Amino acid sequence: MQGSTQGQGSDLGSRGQAIADFRRVRSWSEHLCAPLTVEDHVVQTVVETSPPKWHLAHVSWFFETFLLVHYLPGYKVFHPRFDYLFNSYYEQLDSGFWPRPQRGLLARPTVAEIYDYRRHVDAAMERLVGTCGERDWGVVEPRLRIGLNHEQQHQELLIADIKHNFAFNPLRPAYREDLPHAESVEPEPLVFIAFDGGLGEIGNAGSGFAYDNERPRHRTWVEPFRLGDRLVTNREMLRFIEDNGYGHAGFWLSDGWQIVGREGWVAPRYWECIEGEWFEMTLGGLRPLNPGAPVTHVSYYEADAYATWAGRRLPTEAEWEYAASGLAIMGNFVDSDRFHPAPAVAGQGPRQLFGDVWEWTGSAYLPYPGYRAMEGALGEYNGKFMCNQMVLRGGSCATPADHMRPSYRNFFYPRERWQFMGFRLAEDGI
C-alpha cells in the first residue's frame, strides 16, 4: 500500500496514526525501487530528472533538515555532507546544494549507504513523534504532513524519471514485465459538456492537507464554457501529426515553434514509428500505440498547438476546478498498478478528470489573491516558482489517489513533457 495522508485530516494529531502514515509512505518509495538494479539507481539521463537514489536520499534529507535537527534532542546527522548533496533548491539554508544537472555523476554515496540513511532517519522520526512535547508537536505535526506529501510527490517524479531512464536505453528495457496491457480500442466521439459559469470559488478551504499555493480560497468569475467529456486520445493526436501539425508554424506559439525546430519534435515523447507502425515506450517496455488511450508526455506547447488546430482551446484552471468540484476522486491512479494511462470507460462525462494524465490548462502558475508563502526556507517550496510555468490539474497514473484533491495545483515549464502530461479541450459557451 502506498502512503496515505490526504483525507485523514486531524487524524495525524494521533501519534500512532502519524507513525503508521509515515511507515506507509516511506515503504512505498522503496517498493517503487524494488524492481531496479543497483545500476538503475544511479542513472540521470536529462537535466530535468534525478537518479532514483537521489530521490530516496532527498526525501530523507527533508525530514532530517526540517524536523530532526531542530526538534529531536541529541539527534546526530547521518553524514555531515548530505545536507549539501541532497538539498534540492533551498537557497535560505546555509548548506548550499550540489548542482542538479550533476546528480547522476556521483557514484558515492553508494545505494546501500542511501538505504542505511533512510533507516537512520526512519528510526529517529519515530522517536521524535513518540517523544516530543505538546508544544513542539504543534509545529512537528504540520511539518510531518508536508514531509509525507513531499515524499509522495517524489514518488511520482521517481516513476517518471525511471521511465525516462529506461526509454533512453536502446535496449528499451521494461521496469516491470508484468504490467497489464489495456485493450486496444478506438476512441468514442468527443462530446462537449456545457457549464453555465458564474461567480464561484476556487482554492482549498478544507481542514485536510493542502499546499500553500492552493490557498486562500477566493471568488472568481467564470464565463459560460464547454468542456470535453474525456481526454484527447492517441488517435486524435495521430490525425494532428498526419495533417502536418508538427510542421505548420501557424498552429504554434512562437516559443513552442522554436523548440519544435531546435529539438526535432515530430510526435509526443516516447512515440516511435517502426516500419510504418506507431509504438510507445511504457514502463512495461515498448508497446503498440493504443489509439483509444489518452495521449501523454506532451508539452504545453503541443497541447496548445493541437487545440488551435482543432479550433478549440485549453481550459483555464478555474474552469477545470469548476467542473471537478463535487465529483468523487476516482480514476486511474498509481493504486491501479497500471503505470500508464488507460482509455476512458463508457459513461456520462466529464470523465478522466482525475488520474491518467496531468491536464495542461491555459493558466499561468501565479499566486492566488491574498497568497502568503510560509516563513523561512519552507516558503521556497512553491512560491518562488510562480513565474514562467503553467498549471496542470487532476493527477495521473503515477499519482497516489489519496494525494489528490480538486484544488491541487501542479506546475511545469511549458516545454517539459517527461512527466505524464496530457490535456482535454474546451471552448467558449454559446
Q: Is the pLDDT of residue 12 over 90?
A: no
Over residues 71-86, the pLDDT tens digits come to 999 999 999 999 999 9
What pLDDT, on the 0 to 100 scale, is given for residue 1? 32
What pLDDT, on the 0 to 100 scale, is given for residue 205? 87
What pLDDT, on the 0 to 100 scale, is given for residue 377? 87
Q: Is the pLDDT of residue 8 over 50?
A: no
Over residues 316-365, the pLDDT tens digits come to 999 999 999 989 999 999 999 999 999 999 888 799 999 999 999 999 99
What pLDDT, on the 0 to 100 scale, is given for residue 222? 97
Q: How confident is the model at residue 430 (pLDDT cuts 50, 70, 90)?
A: low
Distances (CA, A) of 375 to 378, 381, 382: 7, 11, 12
Radius of gyration of the chain from its Cα atoms, rounded to whole angstroms: 22
Over residues 288-308, the pLDDT tens digits come to 999 999 999 999 999 999 999
Pairing mode of beta strands 421-422, 358-364: parallel
Residue at 269: amino acid letter: R
Burial class (CB in 10 A: 0-12, 13-18, 19+), 279: middle
Averaged pLDDT for residues 379-405: 95
CB 382 within 8 Å of CB 212: yes
Give the architecture (CATH level 2) of 192-428. Answer: Alpha-Beta Complex (3.90)
Domain map of the chain by residue range? 9-168, 192-428
Q: How confident is the model at residue 13 (pLDDT cuts 50, 70, 90)?
A: low
> Three-state DSSP class for 421?
strand
Q: Is the pLDDT of residue 9 over 80?
A: no
What pLDDT, on the 0 to 100 scale, is given for residue 183? 87
Sequence-separated (6 or more) residues with CB below 8 Å from residue 287: 181, 279, 280, 281
Between 188 and 294, name the one with better pLDDT: 294
Averaged pLDDT for residues 108-115: 98
**What does DSSP assign to residue 247?**
G
Between 364 and 205, name the one with better pLDDT: 364
What pLDDT, on the 0 to 100 scale, is given for residue 206? 81
CATH topology of domain 9-168: Four Helix Bundle (Hemerythrin (Met), subunit A) (1.20.120)
What pLDDT, on the 0 to 100 scale, is given for residue 30? 98
Q: Is the pLDDT of residue 152 over 90?
A: yes
What pLDDT, on the 0 to 100 scale, is given for residue 208? 86
Q: Is the pLDDT of residue 10 over 70?
A: no
Whether the full predicted model's pTM is greater than 0.75, yes or no, is yes
Q: What is the rounded distance in angstroms from the CA atom of residue 250 to the CA atom of residue 309?
A: 9
What percent of the chain stands above pLDDT 90? 90
Flag the least confident range among 58-67, 131-140, 242-251: 131-140
Averaged pLDDT for residues 378-393: 93
Pairing mode of beta strands 390-393, 410-412: antiparallel
Averaged pLDDT for residues 61-72: 97
What pLDDT, on the 0 to 100 scale, is given for residue 255? 98
Mean pLDDT of all residues belonging to the chain: 94
Q: What is the rounded distance in angstroms from the CA atom of residue 335 to the CA atom of residue 312?
A: 33
What pLDDT, on the 0 to 100 scale, is given for residue 424? 98
Q: Is the pLDDT of residue 310 over 70?
A: yes
Q: How confident is the model at residue 375 (pLDDT cuts 50, 70, 90)?
A: confident
| Cα end-to-end span (Å), the chain | 46
What percent of the chain stands above pLDDT 70? 97
Q: Is the pLDDT of residue 3 over 50?
A: no
